[in-house]
Amino acid sequence: MATTSTVRQKKGEPEQAQRPLLQFMLGTAKYAGGTILGVTMLTSSVVAGGLVGLAISFRNLPDVRVLRNYVPTETSYIYDIEGKLLDSLHGEHNREVIKLDEISPELKRAVLAIEDSHFYLHEGINPNSVGRALMVNIQSGNVVEGGSTITMQLVKNLFLSRERTVSRKLAEAVLAIRVEQIFTKDQILEMYLNTIYWGHNSYGVETAAQSYFNKSASELSLAEATMMAGLIQAPEDYSPFINYKETKRRQSLVLQRMEEVGWITAQEAEEAKTTPLLLGQPTAWKSSELPYITEAVVGELQRRFGEDALLKGGMRVQTTVDYDFQKMAEENVADAHQKLRSRGLYADQVALVAVDPRTHFVKALVGGVNYKESQFNRAIQSLRQPGSAFKPFVYYTAFASGEYTPGSTVEDTPVRYRDGSAYYEPQNYGGSFAGPMSIRAALIQSRNVPAVKLGQSVGLDNVIEVCRTLGIKSPLDPVISLPLGAIGITPLELAGAYATFASNGWHSDPTIIVRATDSSGNVILDNTPKPRQVLDPWATASLTAVLKGVINEGTATKAQIGRPAAGKTGTTTSERDVWFVGYVPQLSVAVWIGNDNYRPLGAGVTGGGYAAPIWRDFMGEALKDEPVQYFPAASKFPRPSKP
């Protein structure tokens, strides 16, 4: 990964990196008018000495030694788990910093030829260029020509204003000499190429190469390099995206100059001039490949590091998602929405989240039907009531208490609780009561009254504690109706909590980021899974066995996928939210259907009838290359002892 470490090398240290280019230029450079190296260096020293004397008048100039620790603002990049670029994030400056030896030799020579062919010979200023510019400026009565070397351009870009005055030019020259006393030529050239503006919000040579040619700066041909070198003086005016004819004219000037100084032959110049330029497209404001993913990543990084670090710090962020898998999930949601419409269900939105129980990495996160139409990410931002999909947390708490087993009896009979100044009487879906029944049957049939009674028995504070252990951070109050999901939870929270059931109690914090580094490659965020056993194995295996029954014979028979799977439906009062959350050992998935304005979906709409089929279709594609795996039996683990 690119760093700026080379700018910290002090003058006088080994300069192996610069010698090949320096030797090449010393051996091939030609001097107009027959000027010899000795005269040039002598003149340079005399002029330099005079300017050093002038430095006394410039005591308020910046200290160029700060460049030893200079780190330019740099674009941050977000990748999928396989390294595919998903998005770039930057403020005003879109830049990726690279080392000098990662830049095409053709580009380095082209830039030097057109901007400063004596760069490796002078000590910050070029007397010939200065003298010529001075005569032109005297004749015009104004500063119309600069005579700037690459070093002078660098200090102008970093330290000085762009006003065209004699005092600024003198300051520029003094600072250039100071820079040359501290840094090597290669260090200066590297800073220059990584700093200058190349047009279309591209700063630095790497970003420009990617923008103009969709390739790295190390891969540029002579034709491409000379085109880019021609842009430096006026990037937008000479841009091939704006004026291709003017671009080719500038390219010809660069090739002509390279031929004049002997760095290419006439034949090479002609071949480069006639080579077609296969252009890319500006990358600065390109939209994200996976916006639901990248926006979730951005939110997390901003909370941890702040906006400035994200937009200017050159982070490299690897996400947990695979591009193709996420695209498949988005297509499944869009297709499911169309099927719902064809069935007469006018639900505005569908959201889906998939989490790997083995790592708790988010594998897919779809926050809505169409991101272009609505950027609200319901998978992580919308708190919706889960209804009966909350019940497994109550039943797990009961099993872990040591007081209950799946075969324990609970009464499905009318009950009334005092709730403040009023009374609360829980009702089953459909209004009937079944009398005494096993806990297993109560959960498979999704009976409400037994869940409320069980919540009161085990203690709602204990249920909330289990939820917190499973990573649910949304507000939870110990209200009597809590076991029926009368609180708001995000789809990501449910998918992550159920993933811990799928791993039989092993938990890591769900994340969408694998790792993040700074621009130098230092790891600043490492989410390598650190699973820990947080649930009782017997209680978890017992719960999974019951939730398998929900799919096999209960309210979610439409979720059957031909392999062992467990899950729970959820339908809220007035059918405002319908859910199915289910899992296999390799994947936990939550599906939600609803309207943003909380409009009821319609009488008779249930999670089992509408959300479960979406889950089934998604799992069919998600698991097509995954072997069948089985859940551990509760009999393998000791049952918790009673308190």
Q: Please identify, among 253, 274, 295, the residue that sits at the C-terminal boundary of a domain.
A: 274
- Same domain? 242 vs 365: no
Instruction: Give domain status of residue 182, yes or no.
Output: yes
Question: How many Å apart are CA 211 and CA 280, to the nearest integer?
Answer: 6
CA distances to 60, 93, 199, 524 from 204, rounded to whole Å, are: 29, 9, 10, 24
- Same domain? 547 vs 630: yes
Nearest by Cα to 375 from 452, 287, 304, 316? 287
pLDDT band per the 50, 70, 90 thresholds, residue 134: low
Average pLDDT over residues 623-635: 96
- The helix or strand, by DSSP H or E, that contains position 85, with its residue range, turns out to be strand 85-89
Instruction: Give domain status of residue 295, yes or no.
Output: no
Instruction: Give domain status of residue 114, yes or no.
Output: yes
pLDDT band per the 50, 70, 90 thresholds, residue 94: confident
- The pairing of beta strand 361-366 with beta strand 409-412: unpaired
- DSSP string covering 145-205: -----HHHHHHHHHHS-----HHHHHHHHHHHHHHHHHB-HHHHHHHHHHHSB-STTEESH
- The pairing of beta strand 361-366 with beta strand 349-356: antiparallel
Q: Read off the tokens for 130.
A: 């200065």
Average pLDDT over residues 191-202: 87
Question: How many Å apart are CA 89 and CA 78, to the nearest integer?
Answer: 8
pLDDT in tens, 255-271: 999 999 999 999 999 99
pLDDT of 420 reads 79
Average pLDDT over residues 184-191: 93
- Same domain? 371 vs 229: no
- Same domain? 242 vs 158: yes
Question: How many Å apart are CA 181 and CA 12, to the nearest integer?
Answer: 10
Give yes or no for a contact between 372 and 340, defined as CB atoms under 8 angstroms apart: no
Average pLDDT over residues 35-39: 40
- Same domain? 400 vs 491: yes
- Same domain? 571 vs 478: yes
pLDDT of 149 reads 92
pLDDT band per the 50, 70, 90 thresholds, residue 630: very high
- Same domain? 362 vs 445: yes
pLDDT of 176 reads 86
Average pLDDT over residues 562-575: 95
Whether the predicted pLDDT of 475 surpasses 60: yes
Q: Please identify, among 256, 274, 292, the residue that sits at the C-terminal boundary of a domain.
A: 274
- Same domain? 264 vs 356: no
- Same domain? 360 vs 468: yes
57-66, 287-296, 389-398, 592-601: range with lowest mean pLDDT: 57-66
Handedness of CA 170, 192, 317, 375 (dihedral sign): positive
CA distances to 152, 468, 469, 497, 540 from 534, rounded to whole Å, are: 62, 11, 7, 11, 10
- Same domain? 129 vs 246: yes
Instruction: Give domain status of residue 375, yes or no.
Output: yes
pLDDT in tens, 487-511: 999 999 999 999 999 999 999 999 9
pLDDT of 139 reads 59
Give the chain's mean pLDDT: 86
pLDDT in tens, 416-460: 998 878 899 999 988 899 999 999 999 999 999 999 999 999 999
Helices (H) and strands (E) in the chain, counts: 22, 18
- The pairing of beta strand 94-95 with beta strand 202-203: parallel
pLDDT of 31 reads 38
- Same domain? 236 vs 352: no
Whichever domain contains 107, its CATH number is: 1.10.3810.10
Instruction: Give domain status of residue 373, yes or no.
Output: yes
Domain count of the fold of the chain: 2
Which contacts (CB < 8 Å, 24+ apart) does range 15-24 have? 15/184, 15/185, 15/186, 17/100, 17/101, 17/186, 18/120, 18/184, 18/185, 18/186, 21/105, 21/108, 21/109, 21/120, 21/186, 22/120, 22/185, 24/263
pLDDT band per the 50, 70, 90 thresholds, residue 37: very low
Average pLDDT over residues 621-638: 96
Give the type of residue at 566: A
pLDDT of 43 reads 45
Average pLDDT over residues 312-328: 95
Question: First and final CA of the chain: distance in angstroms?
Answer: 56
Instruction: Give domain status of residue 557, yes or no.
Output: yes
Instruction: Give domain status of residue 111, yes or no.
Output: yes
- Same domain? 383 vs 248: no
What are the residue numbers of the active site? 115, 388
pLDDT band per the 50, 70, 90 thresholds, residue 145: very low
- For 184, the domain range is 18-25+32-60+92-274
Question: How many Å apart are CA 140 and CA 135, to the nearest integer?
Answer: 9
Average pLDDT over residues 510-518: 96
Instruction: Give domain status of residue 139, yes or no.
Output: yes
pLDDT of 12 reads 36
Whichever domain contains 505, its CATH number is: 3.40.710.10
pLDDT in tens, 370-429: 998 898 999 999 999 999 999 999 999 999 999 999 999 999 999 999 887 889 999 998
Average pLDDT over residues 572-596: 96
Q: Read off the tokens for 477.
A: 């109050």
Q: Please identify, among 274, 289, 324, the residue that sits at the C-terminal boundary of a domain.
A: 274
